[in-house]
Chains A and B, each alone.
Chain A
Amino acid sequence: SAVISQKPSRDICQRGTSLTIQCQVDSQVTMMFWYRQQPGQSLTLIATANQGSEATYESGFVIDKFPISRPNLTFSTLTVSNMSPEDSSIYLCSVEGTGGGGYNEQFFGPGTRLTVL
């Protein structure tokens, strides 16, 4: 299994500012995933963060708005830039563990609850 921590756990930010969320894993992992959960909605994949290469963004998400760093195999950051109230969400990072039969279980961080005023 993997133990994931995120910082901050929550924040209240002003419109137009940026917030960087940190994700730390207790073991080395190849792929890290960043998700957003808007109020009352399910999770949506923002991007996949690979160590040593550019993150891969899903449709509707762009690097200028959500820059991601992945400096090593245990750490990643997601920045929410030029925030607006629509960015108020829970942001979660996730990694794949090693399951049986070649398929991988997902482990999730505790989430960062962001409120933009």
Chain B
Amino acid sequence: KNEVEQSPQNLTAQEGEFITINCSYSVGISALHWLQQHPGGGIVSLFMLSSGKKKHGRLIATINIQEKHSSLHITASHPRDSAVYICAVSRRGGGGGADGLTFGKGTHLIIQP
């Protein structure tokens, strides 16, 4: 079982629809990241969460630490939102140093006009 699970794997929706992508994790974390990857490979950090909820424009990210679950929402979706959305976690380490991320497999989102 992967330590970070995302659903759905693939999502096709019509322009304007409300989009939800889910992420569950099974390890202790210090933070959870939502990333966006466009065709061509470039990755952009959308959110970094340790608790609660964050909002940037039409994007909203929430996290429930007790349930080990996070969601990414897109309101009023647009074709330019088409990308792979990746959930990743910073594992809670003991040494105080930085750790790399553990990634989910990503959600391929297509927004049709």
Residues of chain A at the chain B interface (Cβ within 8 Å): 30-31, 33, 35, 37, 41-45, 48, 58, 90, 92, 94, 96, 99, 101, 103-108, 110-111, 113
In the assembled complex, 30 residue pairs joining A and B whose CB atoms fall closer than 8 Å, in A order, are A30-B98, A31-B97, A33-B100, A35-B100, A42-B104, A42-B105, A42-B106, A43-B86, A43-B103, A44-B103, A48-B98, A48-B99, A48-B100, A90-B41, A92-B43, A94-B100, A96-B98, A103-B31, A103-B50, A104-B48, A104-B90, A105-B33, A105-B48, A106-B45, A106-B48, A107-B45, A108-B44, A110-B42, A111-B42, A111-B43
> Known interface pairs A43-B103, A103-B48, A103-B90. Does A37 touch B41 (Cβ–Cβ under 8 Å)?
yes
Total contacts A-B at CB 8 Å: 64
4 tightest A-B contacts by CB? Answer: A45-B100, A111-B41, A108-B43, A103-B31
Residues of chain B at the chain A interface (Cβ within 8 Å): 30-31, 33, 35, 41-45, 48, 50, 86, 88, 90, 97-106
A31 engages B98 (CB within 8 Å): yes
CB distance from A35 to the nearest CB of B (A): 7
B-side interface mostly: strand
Residues of the B chain whose Cβ atoms lie less than 8 Å from the Cβ of A48: 98-100
Q: Which single member of A90, A92, A108 contacts B45 (CB below 8 Å)? A: A108
Residue of B nearest to A96 (CB): B98
